[in-house]
Amino acid sequence: MNIPLIELTTQHQQLRSEINAAIQGVLDRGDFILGKDVSKLEEEFAAYCGVKYAIGVDSGLSALELSLRALEIGPGHEVIVPAHTFTATAAAVTFTGATPVFVDVDPETWTIDVEKVEEAITPRTRAILPVHLYGLPADMHMILGVAEKYNLAVVEDACQAHGARYKGSRVGSFGNAAGFSFYPTKNLGGCGDAGMVTTNDEKVAETIRALRNCGQRAKNIHELHPFNHRLDSLQAAILRVKLNHLDTWIEARRRLASVYNKLLSNTPVITPVELPGYQHVYHLYVIRAQNRDALQAHLKDRGIGTAIHYPSPVHLQPFYSNGVDRHGQYPISEKICNEILSLPMYPEMTEEQVEVVASEIMNLVETVP
């Protein structure tokens, strides 16, 4: 049995008629950039997240960058980010001219270690950028408490966590702003790059609308930095169709994750946690295994797709290490990156397929002393 890490074809086949009709609507109107579907998606996604404003952009990275810029973060400033995340989190800070300051992650949740955040604050710190990693919310209550104490902004990296909840509220509604990615493999994914900012701050929303569209608040009046980070109407039209199905897909992911958790509970691998008050949406189902590389090779030999998200913490990436040996700076992140393995996870996956994957994992770990 071949079981891919992720499979998008089935989902698109199931939605073919809806998606085709949505695309045809854009073609008939000809409003390809910031058209009707962009405005509608912004309204619908804001309502879904429980915020006042949503602003469509061309990627999750742009959503984070423009959020920071709208909060007037730039050269000479520092922004605290977790060491274990995708590099785009830190890149958003770098693009503004500010400096990302890394902190280690919690060994249980693998999200930013809030106790380490306060230790990293300096007079140049202007914001905290927590990541809702793999679909699990960061500890926003504690993060917001530290931010209030030191008068810092909070920008949520919600690029992997569409629909996730923390103490009853959806992520993207806690910070000064939040960035979402609609990359095709995300829980809510387009057919190309796309992103969204959510915020309850009218000034932030207005600034991002101008920044994304060549700095224009009014046509041909370029008041702000002239970026081009607009959302295509075709992507928005597709995403509007998919948004209607997102909660159903989240339920499927959570059901499949519960099967994984049960079957792997008596094995040496570490399964993801979901603390009280947190709702994980399992963009990725990630385990930890001391024999990770052997396990990945074993699953590959049996036609089971896996991946490593992410093989290196950001501080060890060549761009951010600057030629300096930084090994040992953030030991939890480094240990996690040596052990994590993403298993197949997508809403159309069957419980029988989960059982096959879990069985192969158990077969290997039983043979390892």
Give the pLDDT confidence of 313-353 residue by residue, as tens digits: 999 999 999 889 999 999 999 999 999 999 999 999 999 99
- Per cent of the chain over pLDDT 70 is 99
pLDDT of residue 366: 64
Q: What element of type H or E holds 368?
A: none
Burial track 207-245 (b if 16+ CB lie within 10 A, e otherwise): bbbbbbbbbbeeeeeeebeebebbbbbbbbbbbbbbbeb
pLDDT in tens, 143-178: 999 999 999 999 999 999 999 999 999 999 999 999
pTM above 0.85, yes or no: yes
DSSP string spanning 192-215?
S--EEEEES-HHHHHHHHHHHBTT
pLDDT in tens, 208-243: 999 999 999 988 899 998 999 999 999 999 999 999
- pLDDT at residue 367 is higher than 70: no
- Per cent of the chain over pLDDT 90 is 95
